[in-house]
Structure 1
Amino acid sequence: MDLDINQYIDVFVEEAREHLQNMNDVLLELEKNSSNLELVNEIFRVAHTIKGMSGTMGFNNMANLTHEMENVLQAARSNEISINEEVVDILFECFDALDSSVNSIIEGGKESQDSNDSLIEKLWKILNKDQSNKLDGKSRSESCKLNEYTEEIIYKASMEGLNAFEIDIKLSETCMLKSARAFIIFNTLESFGEIIYSNPSVEDIEDEKFKLEFSVILITQLEKDMVFKELNQISEIESITIDHLEKGKVAAAVTAEENVEIKLESTESSNEENHKTEKNIQNRSGKVGKTVRVDIDRLDNLMNLVSELIIIKTRMDDLSGSNNGENMSEAIEYLERITTNLHDAVMKVRMVPIERVFNRFPRMVRDLAKELDKEIDLQMSGEETEVDRTVIDEIGDPLIHLIRNSIDHGIEIPSERLEHGKPEQGTVVLKSYPDGNNVVIEVEDDGKGIDYNKVKKKAIQKGIVTEREADTLSNEEIIRLLFAPGFSTSDKISDISGRGVGLDVVKSKIESINGTIEVESEPYKGTKFIIRIPLTLAIIQALLVKLDEEIFAIPLSSINEITNVDSSNIRDIQGQEIVLYRGKTLPIIRLNEILGTKPRDDNEELIVVIVRKGDKQAGLIVDNLLGQQEIVIKSLGKYLSGVKYLSGATILGNGNISLILDINSLI
């Protein structure tokens, strides 16, 4: 029965990612404590598991690489070699190759086509074995360097009327268990006569220390055609080459007429089947699912709530035939409690620890520190903070950029730090914690901070502000310039990052998930980026407001307060309406003008909803307040995705649609 591996790819990817993350964590520990054999054992176990998984799935490049990793790790376990910086670096390279293969499987259903020859050669060199002949496209003379003893055996065999054949065998690319297939071939050949030479050695072949090819010398009574015929019946062989050997003649001297090299028909058919399998896998491109691992207790709770939902549905069906309004009201209250609990339960199912994002940063910091010759201590806390699965997918890239930014241009080189009385080792702190309906993530470094004068000069150069305007800017306003599109304080473009490079992208990415970003910086002390993101993007608390006959929703997390303002107190300053509120100027936004609705006639006393984005505030003028409500956010779809000031829509209880205002684009 053929095994359809398509159905297992999702499981493979999820498991492989988990094992690779474990390998990455342990490698980072091993780098700090190379004498800890328990860490070596753990990496060995992970490599062994990945080898078995990838071999079963037919991902041979991954299986071969992890097998060679096992050999090096086994040598370390038995104290044949010691773990040093070179070994750890090569193991990290192996991790990167495996990670790249898993990403390739996610994107296209197939592992990376790189056979990792250079990495395997590095691993062999660690073991002090000259295995280069296994990797080179070997010539016939190189593949069989016959010593005097072997040649003497061939001579004696020919004197006794026996034949000596050099047999080169190449296994099919689809062969999943190479050593087992080689064992069958050896058994078959030994039934014909005696194998006097093998390249690689029999031990290496048993340990799968070979690619797809191996050579043997066979002494036998059989003729060449008979040997070929018997070998031809073994499956998963791509080609067989048989040369007749005589004393003093290496295989390269044999004439072309004596060579037999045939592509096996059985292999062609298996290749066809493999091609179909590959095609099936490719058809799945992009369909590797997003998964969440859920505690069984949470699922049990979900099941119980659904059961109660069915019970109340039956009860309401019974009550619908009677006129007992009191019982119906009780049933509706009960239903409301169940739906609230159900919402909470589903939310918990969707929640995953932010650790999933944080896990990738220790390795990234380690590589950057080596590249820049800096000493960096990454301190992480709050990894257990849970956020919605969709938020996890979106927050990774902005955090990568901010951390790279801090290491490259925030933290100084060791000599410069010593001049300012700082320790040589710079510190990057990454922490997260819940704050009401939001999660806060902070990225803080103890570097040189933001040079406000440099930011102003660059802003003037780029024509963003005039010299006169620049002189009046506060530090907070200067920091906002960093988030202007294309703004950079770097004198040259860095491959790693630059203070300000791409910060507009970071900001827009965070705002796309209804989050905000703030910056605090102190010269020579450091910089802190504070990101606030909602716990979930699916269901939120909102304030429903009315503009003319239309109902709009404002996310409650963006609202500071609601107040009344006399229209006579509104002043127009350079085209921007403002009002003095609690000793500060508050910009006023007339929603009816932006959204194209009719303004109210009696507009002496205005209802103003004060909203915030980071440290900025604005007052939204609305016609009426309808109250707070829990709403389910629905996407506007790709055709309306570019509409300004709107982030989605929701369906109200009466079936009408209410548009949700995007506060980040309004302020």
Structure 2
Amino acid sequence: MTNDNPPPTSDSGSPFSDDMAQYLQVYIDESEEELDGLVEAILKLEGNPHHDEALHKAFRMLHSLKGSSGMLGFEIVGNFAHELEDRFERYRSGQAILDRETTTLVLKCVDYFRLFLGRLRSDDLNQGDPTELLNQLQEHERHRSSNPETPAVVMTTMPVMTISGGLHLVVRFRPGLQLADLKARLIVARLSSIGEIISCEPPIDDAHSFDELPLFSLTLVTDRKIDEVRKIANVDGVEAIEIQGNELNMKLLVPSGPVPSGPTTIVEPPPERPFTAEATTPAPPESSAPPDASAIASDVTPGKSETEAPDAKIQSSETLRVDIGRLDRLMNLTGELVVANARFSQIASDMSPLFRNSAVFKKSRELTDRLRERFESLRQSRQQSFDKDDVWMQITQGLDEDLEALDRQSILWAEGHRHFADISDAVDQLTRVSKNLQRGVLNTRMVPVGPLFNRFKRVIRDLSTERRKQVQLIIQGEKTELDKRMIDALGDPLLHLVRNSIDHGMEGPEQRRAAGKPVVGTIVLEAAHRGNSVWITVRDDGAGINTDRIRTRIIERGLATAAQVNEMTEAQTISHIWHPGFSTAESVTEISGRGVGMDIVRSTISELSGTIEVASTPGVGTTFTIRLPLTLAIIHSLMMRYQNDYFSIPLDDVREIVSIPRDQIHVVHRHVTIDVRGELISLVSMKGIFKWGTTSNSPELSTTSTTRTANVVVIHARGKTLGLTVDSLVGRADLVIKSLTENFQPVRGLSGASILGDGAVCLMIDSAALIDLAAERTLTGAV
């Protein structure tokens, strides 16, 4: 398979034509989705080679990949996809079976496509050379055909259903319809799922070369009724469909000729089932060029009669592929809107005492009226004595003017009161719109974790085969949604955890049988929403973590003395697996043993503002629990003040808030502690954790302070609890967090900053890092 003709280049130097270059990213994204679906179908076929739906799905994925690759000029990739497509056609027709050895080779072919897409993302147009993979497939097929022990796939003397007849369709498009070739590909793909297309004019692979495509025809062999075929082919843009031919006649034929000798495998026809279109992945068109909205097929609900919807066209699914960078910018603008809204709310709140109190206006009017009445009384009583006094006349005139001014001010204040009511209503409306927009943008970025979890089916298959272990994967909560950026970042941490579960945690078949366990081990990937967080669990039923081996390695690496190790609890011992470079593996393999995986896992999760905890029981298994915020942009927080500065803590890290009398703060073994319902909790202050200019970092948690009680926020992260004293609590707030690393410099214990409504800066506390800092200060004697 060679190609001496590179893809055409445009005048601008791009390796694609100007029309095709804009579709490159769409091609990459769609091809990756198709490969994910292909792997899922292949792994399903490995367990059941006759799985009809999986066979059709794999064939459709390869057919689509072939077409889109050809349209962008990737002929080597398209031809290789065509070779695989031919083989899956034989699997569909029963001429061959996808056994385990063939599955391994096919998965290697999928890796070739993935490597090509990876190079394409890096602007490397090298298509590679899949000739060696093709040779391996052909050699394997020749070996199977020549090996008498390999079951030959033949037809026995059992009745086998064959077909005769067919329908000839002429599909006419609306004049001037754009992307008619994509419509044609869509129709062909849909009809291929209910029968076999034995001819098409013009050939569907050449449809894109026509400037206009007013009509095309095809011959379809199917057992469906004409009305049903017409309904499936009637997509948006079709003006008329002409169908000629009779309903398909089904015949039972007995093959003639000798039956081959040797082991045979009976291939029975698949049971008849109604046509259904997948809700999220309808039969895709071959081209990767983005069609208009009507070119994307939606569900066809089986069982509806023609009387219910005689001329109903297949509705399009309203989907749009958007670059994640645009969503990032939209999220940033939404964050700025949230900050501006908070500013308006703060101003309205500050003005509220003046305008909300209607008694102020009433008292002002009453005071003016009383002054006028008393002045009139004074003037009447002294009128005869002072009516000719010029000074008196000037005073009375001035008092009249002052009273008139007070009346005008009262009227202006009343108008201001009415306007403030309008402003308050506008701020409330802005708050509602801002929150709805914020929620809408967040939902736009949310994607289910299912595709991420499904990638590990292939990983577990390959690793368990390599390590000669039997492992099955169970996925739970695959519809749980998480921010797209976080989904992308979770791939490597989960890969390390799954690899370690197989390599370190899972026993071999003999060991499991001796321990009374099922021979097949189980790894569970689970996701669930809890409050404002997503919890992801990686659980296995292996041997658990060997704490004795960890203790030995701790001493060998000089991380602690033997005496210190003996005093460690199980949790403290296990926590050393997160130490950089720490490993208990006896030897280094391609999978693990270098001591870098778990450190990367913890660092990545921390960068996502999440936490990871581990629990292990010897002989039972190990569970890793990851807790992540729904999004990194806006955090639900508890705000507090310390030394006239604002700080915040993610609400999910706040276990409770307590008020502790000063006389109940004690020092136990150099630890400042409090008793919360019988639980002793270490207590620190902000001053004891951070260095504030030239001041000491000593906590100075005085029990003889002028205040009788201390406000304590009890923080819980990574399975540890800590009490933090603050001056005052402000309340709950949704804060737009900006990175300190990108804008200033990283500060350990702080994860970001936000701008409040009054313009003040609020620093976000990293709860897990704060607890680690408190432990280090304790060990060094600072606390």
Give TM-score, length-normalised by structure 2: 0.59
Give CA deviations for 1:595-621 in whole Å, capped at 9, x if unaligned: 344789746633221111132011112
1:22 alignment partner in structure 2 = 37
Given that residues 689 and 770 in structure 2 are in contact (C-alpha distance below 8 angstroms), is that contact kept between their aligned partners in structure 1? no
Post-superposition offset of 1:517: 1.4
Q: How many angstroms apart in 2 are the aligned matches of 1:292 and 1:22? A: 27
2:21 alignment partner in structure 1 = 6
Provide the secondary structure at the position in 1 that maps to 2:478. Answer: coil
Q: How many angstroms apart in 1 are the aligned matches of 2:612 and 2:464? A: 26
User: Structure 1 residues 342 and 630 mapped into 2: Cα distance closer, same or farther (>3 Å)?
Assistant: same
Q: How many angstroms apart in 1 are the aligned matches of 2:518 and 2:126? A: 43
Find the partner of 1:506 among 598, 601, 610: 601
Post-superposition offset of 1:120: 2.1
Tell me, which stretches of 5 or more residues in structure 2 are unaligned?
1-9, 11-16, 144-202, 206-321, 328-333, 349-413, 772-783
1:123 alignment partner in structure 2 = 137
User: Structure 1 residues 422 and 111 mapped into 2: Cα distance closer, same or farther (>3 Å)?
Assistant: farther
Give CA deviations for 1:550-584 in whole Å, capped at 9, x if unaligned: 21121111111122334554445565433343333
Post-superposition offset of 1:504: 2.4
Note the 1:349-388 alignment, pairs <5 A.
Answer: 349-388=444-483
User: Structure 1 residues 327 and 38 mapped into 2: Cα distance closer, same or farther (>3 Å)?
Assistant: closer
Given that residues 588 and 620 in structure 1 are in contact (C-alpha distance below 8 angstroms), is that contact kept between their aligned partners in structure 2? yes
Note the 1:184-199 alignment, pairs <5 A.
Answer: none
Deviates more, 1:21-30 or 1:333-342: 333-342
Provide the secondary structure at the position in 2 that maps to 1:565. Answer: strand
Post-superposition offset of 1:371: 0.4
Read off the aligned partner of 1:119 and give its amino acid letter: L
Find the partner of 2:70 among 31, 55, 72: 55
Post-superposition offset of 1:548: 1.4
Q: How many angstroms apart in 1 are the aligned matches of 2:60 and 2:415? A: 62
Post-superposition offset of 1:86: 2.5
Choose 1 or 2 for highest CA Rg.
Answer: 2
Give CA deviations for 1:251-290 in whole Å, capped at 9, x if unaligned: xxxxxxxxxxxxxxxxxxxxxxxxxxxxxxxxxxxxx943
Note the 1:153-192 alignment, pairs <5 A.
Answer: none
Give CA deviations for 1:127-152 in whole Å, capped at 9, x if unaligned: 649xxxxxxxxxxxxxxxxxxxxxxx
Q: How many angstroms apart in 2 are the aligned matches of 1:356 and 1:83? A: 24
Q: How many angstroms apart in 2 are the aligned matches of 1:386 and 1:611? A: 26
Find the partner of 1:645 among 746, 749, 767: 749
2:47 alignment partner in structure 1 = 32
Q: How many angstroms apart in 1 are the aligned matches of 2:105 and 2:426? A: 66
Given that residues 750 and 763 in structure 2 are in contact (C-alpha distance below 8 angstroms), is that contact kept between their aligned partners in structure 1? yes
Q: How many angstroms apart in 2 are the aligned matches of 1:614 and 1:636? A: 23
User: Structure 1 residues 292 and 348 mapped into 2: Cα distance closer, same or farther (>3 Å)?
Assistant: farther
2:738 alignment partner in structure 1 = 634
Q: How many angstroms apart in 2 are the aligned matches of 1:15 and 1:383? A: 20
Q: How many angstroms apart in 2 are the aligned matches of 1:578 and 1:371? A: 51
Given that residues 44 and 51 in structure 2 are in contact (C-alpha distance below 8 angstroms), is that contact kept between their aligned partners in structure 1? no
Find the partner of 1:484 among 576, 579, 583: 579
Read off the aligned partner of 1:437 and give its amino acid letter: N
Q: How many angstroms apart in 2 are the aligned matches of 1:50 and 1:623? A: 62
Note the 1:262-277 alignment, pairs <5 A.
Answer: none
Provide the secondary structure at the position in 2 that maps to 1:326. Answer: helix
Note the 1:415-494 alignment, pairs <5 A.
Answer: 415-494=510-589
Q: How many angstroms apart in 2 are the aligned matches of 1:666 and 1:320? A: 52
Give CA deviations for 1:355-380 in whole Å, capped at 9, x if unaligned: 13112110100001110111111111
Q: How many angstroms apart in 1 are the aligned matches of 2:628 and 2:474? A: 21
Q: How many angstroms apart in 1 are the aligned matches of 2:527 and 2:594? A: 22
Q: How many angstroms apart in 1 are the aligned matches of 2:326 and 2:612? A: 27
Given that residues 683 and 725 in structure 2 are in contact (C-alpha distance below 8 angstroms), is that contact kept between their aligned partners in structure 1? yes
Q: How many angstroms apart in 2 are the aligned matches of 1:116 and 1:370? A: 24
2:659 alignment partner in structure 1 = 564
User: Structure 1 residues 666 and 367 mapped into 2: Cα distance closer, same or farther (>3 Å)?
Assistant: same
Deviates more, 1:90-99 or 1:544-553: 544-553
Q: How many angstroms apart in 2 are the aligned matches of 1:292 and 1:20? A: 25
Given that residues 740 and 746 in structure 2 are in contact (C-alpha distance below 8 angstroms), is that contact kept between their aligned partners in structure 1? no
Q: How many angstroms apart in 2 are the aligned matches of 1:524 and 1:112? A: 49
Identity %: 36
Given that residues 546 and 618 in structure 2 are in contact (C-alpha distance below 8 angstroms), is that contact kept between their aligned partners in structure 1? yes
User: Structure 1 residues 87 and 564 mapped into 2: Cα distance closer, same or farther (>3 Å)?
Assistant: same
Q: How many angstroms apart in 2 are the aligned matches of 1:529 and 1:497? A: 17
Given that residues 377 and 427 in structure 1 are in contact (C-alpha distance below 8 angstroms), is that contact kept between their aligned partners in structure 2? yes
Deviates more, 1:376-385 or 1:516-525: 516-525
User: Structure 1 residues 615 and 83 mapped into 2: Cα distance closer, same or farther (>3 Å)?
Assistant: closer
2:324 alignment partner in structure 1 = 290
Give CA deviations for 1:94-121 in whole Å, capped at 9, x if unaligned: 1111011112212x12344421120122
Note the 1:132-151 alignment, pairs <5 A.
Answer: none
Q: How many angstroms apart in 1 are the aligned matches of 2:565 and 2:675? A: 24
Given that residues 352 and 389 in structure 1 are in contact (C-alpha distance below 8 angstroms), is that contact kept between their aligned partners in structure 2? yes
Given that residues 609 and 619 in structure 1 are in contact (C-alpha distance below 8 angstroms), is that contact kept between their aligned partners in structure 2? yes
1:540 alignment partner in structure 2 = 635
Q: How many angstroms apart in 2 are the aligned matches of 1:292 and 1:102? A: 22
Provide the secondary structure at the position in 1 that maps to 2:471. Answer: strand
User: Structure 1 residues 502 and 330 mapped into 2: Cα distance closer, same or farther (>3 Å)?
Assistant: same
User: Structure 1 residues 110 and 54 mapped into 2: Cα distance closer, same or farther (>3 Å)?
Assistant: farther
Give CA deviations for 1:11-31 in whole Å, capped at 9, x if unaligned: 111211111111010000111
Give CA deviations for 1:56-114 in whole Å, capped at 9, x if unaligned: 112233212112212322333444433222221111111111011112212x1234442
Note the 1:614-629 alignment, pairs <5 A.
Answer: 614-629=718-733
Give CA deviations for 1:327-360 in whole Å, capped at 9, x if unaligned: 3222322222222222222221111101131121
2:504 alignment partner in structure 1 = 409
Provide the secondary structure at the position in 2 that maps to 1:374. Answer: coil
User: Structure 1 residues 566 and 38 mapped into 2: Cα distance closer, same or farther (>3 Å)?
Assistant: closer
Q: How many angstroms apart in 2 are the aligned matches of 1:121 and 1:614? A: 52
Q: How many angstroms apart in 2 are the aligned matches of 1:544 and 1:388? A: 24
Q: How many angstroms apart in 2 are the aligned matches of 1:42 and 1:504? A: 39
Read off the aligned partner of 1:624 and give its amino acid letter: S
Provide the secondary structure at the position in 1 that maps to 2:714. Answer: strand
Read off the aligned partner of 2:139 and give its amino acid letter: K
User: Structure 1 residues 503 and 571 mapped into 2: Cα distance closer, same or farther (>3 Å)?
Assistant: farther
Read off the aligned partner of 1:121 and give its amino acid letter: N
Given that residues 749 and 769 in structure 2 are in contact (C-alpha distance below 8 angstroms), is that contact kept between their aligned partners in structure 1? yes
Q: How many angstroms apart in 1 are the aligned matches of 2:21 and 2:67? A: 17
User: Structure 1 residues 291 and 24 mapped into 2: Cα distance closer, same or farther (>3 Å)?
Assistant: farther
Given that residues 410 and 499 in structure 1 are in contact (C-alpha distance below 8 angstroms), is that contact kept between their aligned partners in structure 2? no
Post-superposition offset of 1:652: 0.6
Given that residues 72 and 123 in structure 1 are in contact (C-alpha distance below 8 angstroms), is that contact kept between their aligned partners in structure 2? no
Post-superposition offset of 1:457: 1.9
Two-structure CA RMSD over aligned residues (Å): 3.2
Given that residues 36 and 451 in structure 2 are in contact (C-alpha distance below 8 angstroms), is that contact kept between their aligned partners in structure 1? no
Q: How many angstroms apart in 2 are the aligned matches of 1:113 and 1:631? A: 47
2:380 alignment partner in structure 1 = none
Note the 1:550-589 alignment, pairs <5 A.
Answer: 550-572=645-667, 576-589=671-684
User: Structure 1 residues 455 and 49 mapped into 2: Cα distance closer, same or farther (>3 Å)?
Assistant: same
User: Structure 1 residues 573 and 509 mapped into 2: Cα distance closer, same or farther (>3 Å)?
Assistant: farther
Tell me, which stretches of 5 or more residues in structure 1 are unaligned?
130-205, 209-287, 294-301
Q: How many angstroms apart in 1 are the aligned matches of 2:46 and 2:325? A: 32
Read off the aligned partner of 1:18 and give its amino acid letter: E
Q: How many angstroms apart in 2 are the aligned matches of 1:402 and 1:82? A: 34
Find the partner of 1:660 among 742, 764, 778: 764
Given that residues 586 and 593 in structure 2 are in contact (C-alpha distance below 8 angstroms), is that contact kept between their aligned partners in structure 1? no
User: Structure 1 residues 641 and 412 mapped into 2: Cα distance closer, same or farther (>3 Å)?
Assistant: farther
